[in-house]
Amino acid sequence: MIKEFSILVVDDQMEYRDVLKLILEESGFAVDTADSGENALEKIQNTEYDLVLTDLIMDGMDGIELLRRIKYLNNKIEVIIITGYGSIENAVHAMKEGAFSYFIKSHNPDELLSEVRKVIQLKDLEKESKTTKNLGIISDFYLETKSRTYRKTLQIAKKAAQSNSNILILGESGVGKEVIAKYIHKNSDRKDLTFVDVNCHGFSDTLFESEFFGHEKGAFTGAVDRRIGRFELADKGVLFLDEIGNISFSAQSKLLKAIESKKIERIGSNKVIDIDFRLITATNKNLTEEIENGTFRDDLYYRLSTITINVPPLRKRREDIQSLFYYFVRKYSLELDKDIIDIDEAIINHLNQYDFPGNIRELKNMTERLVVLTEDGILRLSDLLETSSDNNKDVSKLDKEIVPLREIRKEAESNYIKKVLEICEYNVSESARQLGISRRQLFNKISEYSLK
C-alpha cells in the first residue's frame, strides 16, 4: 500500500536529497527527486505525487514559492517543508500557506517518517469520504477538510444520511448548509430520487399553502391550472426546506400537520394524497430563542430536530480557507476559460487574516471577482479591495441615509488606511511611506480608528 504513495524530494543539495531518498525508500515509499523548485514543478505536471518534501531555502524558487505553486496546480498534493533551525519562523509561516508540517534537518528522521504517515492517514480518510477524485472536471462541492470540527460535521451528516430521521442543519448564512443537505441526499438510499429544494424566505400564508400543497384548477382566483405542490414533488425523495425559521406561525402549524400525518390535500380538492419524503431543514436563526419569543412552535422544532447538525463558520475552520480558495480559483478559471498563472502573495495573507462574515459564499464571490477581473492571469489583492463588499456597503449606506461629511471622511479614511495596511502586511513604516504621512501620524490614526 505504501508503494502506491509517491513522494517527491526537492533540495538543491545533492547529499541531503539522496539521504532523504534512501531513508524513505527503505521505509517502502516510491521516491523521486528534483534539484530545484522549477524542476519540481515540471515533474509535478507530468507525474502524480501524493507528497512533496521540499527544502525551504534554495537558489531560485524557494520552498514557500514552490508550495504556493503546487497548491495552485493541485492542492491535493501535501507539502512538508524541510528546514534548518535558523528558519523555523519561515517554516511556521509556510504552514499558514498550506504546508502540512515542517521537519527540522538535524532532527531524528523517524520524526519525518511519522509526519509522512500522518499524510497517508489523511489521504486514506479523504479517499474514504469519496470526495472529489477527478482530474480536470471540477466537482460541485469541495468537501475535503483539514478541520476536525468540519470533519465531524461530515461524519454526522453521513451517519444521519443512513437513517430516515428528520434533520435540522444549523449554521450562519453562507456556511454551506444546503451543501450538507445535498451531501446527505447523495449518501442516502434516496440518492437516485428527487431532491426538492425550497427557500422558505418571504412566503405569505397563501403562497405557502399553494407552494407546498398545490391546488386544483379554479381552486381560487388566479388558479388557472392545476399545480403540484412541493410535498408531492418530493414524494419518495428528499425535501429540503431552507430558512425554515422564516415561515409564519400559521404555516408552521400546516407544515407540522403534513409531516406528522404524511398526508396532504391539494387546495380545492378533498382527495387525500399519501406523501413519503425525507425531510431536511436548515436555518441560521437560533430557534430556541425564537421559541422563547413565541415566534416558533416548539412541537414543530422537536419534530424537525430529531438529528441536529451544526455547520461551523469558515473562521472556525481557517485551515480550510486556502484549499477552498484554490478550489474556487480552479472552478472559475475553468468556467471562465481563463488561465491563472500566478496569485499575489498578499491575497493569501489577506485570506489568512480575514474573518469571512459571509462564510464560504463570500470566499466564493471574492474568488470569482478576482478571476473575472484579471486580464493577464495574475490574481491581485488590489482587484479584491477595489471591489470589496465593504466598498459596496459604503455606497449603499450613502444611498440610504444622509450623514455629516465629517463622518463620511472619517469612514473613507479609516477604510483606506486599513486597505493600505493590509497590502503592506501591516508594516507601519511602509504603509506610512505609501500614504505620505509620518509613522507617528499613522500610529495615531491606527489607534483612533482601532485598526489593529
> Is 313 a binder of ligand ATP (CB under 6 A)?
no
> Is 367 a binder of ligand ATP (CB under 6 A)?
no
Most distant CA pair in the chain, distance: 85
Interface region with ligand ATP, contact rule CB under 6 A, candidates 168-176, 295-303, 404-412, 435-443: 168-176
Strand, helix or coil for residue 6: strand
DSSP string, 211-259: HHHEE-TTSSTT--S-EE-HHHHTTTSEEEEETGGGS-HHHHHHHHHHH
Q: What is d(CA 352, CA 323) in angstroms, rounded to the nearest whole number?
A: 12
Q: What is d(CA 173, CA 303) in angstroms, rounded to the nearest whole number?
A: 23
**To the nearest whole angstrom, how small is the minimum distance from the Cβ of residue 306 to ligand ATP?**
20
Q: What is d(CA 350, CA 360) in angstroms, rounded to the nearest whole number?
A: 15
Residue 314: C-alpha distances to residues 173, 189, 199, 327 (Å): 11, 30, 22, 15
**To the nearest whole angstrom, how small is the minimum distance from the Cβ of residue 141 to ligand ATP?**
4
Q: Let me know if 424 is exposed, middle or buried by CB neighbors in 10 A (0-12, 13-18, 19+).
A: middle
Q: What is d(CA 97, CA 175) in angstroms, rounded to the nearest whole number?
A: 22
User: Quick one: which of 178, 197, 235, 342 contacts ligand ATP (CB under 6 A)?
Assistant: 178
Q: Which is nearer to ligand ATP, 33 or 367 (CB)?
A: 367
Residues 50-79 within binding reach of ligand ATP (CB under 6 A): none
Q: Which is nearer to ligand ATP, 149 or 414 (CB)?
A: 149
Q: Which is nearer to ligand ATP, 117 or 191 (CB)?
A: 191
> Is 227 a binder of ligand ATP (CB under 6 A)?
no
**DSSP class of 267:** B
Q: Indicate the residue whose CB is closest to ligand ATP.
A: 176
> Is 360 a binder of ligand ATP (CB under 6 A)?
yes
User: Quick one: which of 27, 39, 132, 173 contacts ligand ATP (CB under 6 A)?
Assistant: 173
Residues 103-162 within binding reach of ligand ATP (CB under 6 A): 141-143
**To the nearest whole angstrom, how small is the minimum distance from the Cβ of residue 421 to ligand ATP?**
28
Q: Which is nearer to ligand ATP, 262 or 315 (CB)?
A: 315
Contact 241, 256 (CB under 8 A): no
> Is 242 a binder of ligand ATP (CB under 6 A)?
yes
Q: H or E segment at 308?
A: strand 307-310
Q: Which is nearer to ligand ATP, 7 or 340 (CB)?
A: 340
Q: Which is nearer to ligand ATP, 54 or 281 (CB)?
A: 281
Strand, helix or coil for residue 431: helix
Pairing of strands 307-310, 167-170: parallel
Q: What is d(CA 349, CA 391) in angstroms, rounded to the nearest whole number?
A: 20
Q: Which is nearer to ligand ATP, 107 or 393 (CB)?
A: 393
The position carrying cell 527544502 is: 55
User: Quick one: which of 278, 364, 369, 380 contacts ligand ATP (CB under 6 A)?
Assistant: 364
User: Quick one: which of 284, 367, 388, 431 contacts ligand ATP (CB under 6 A)?
Assistant: 284
Q: Which is nearer to ligand ATP, 143 or 251 (CB)?
A: 143
**To the nearest whole angstrom, how small is the minimum distance from the Cβ of residue 199 to ligand ATP?**
7
Q: Which is nearer to ligand ATP, 69 or 364 (CB)?
A: 364
Which cell numbers hold the place of 226?
392545476
Where does this chain bind ligand ATP (CB under 6 A)?
141-143, 171, 173-179, 242, 282, 284, 360-361, 364
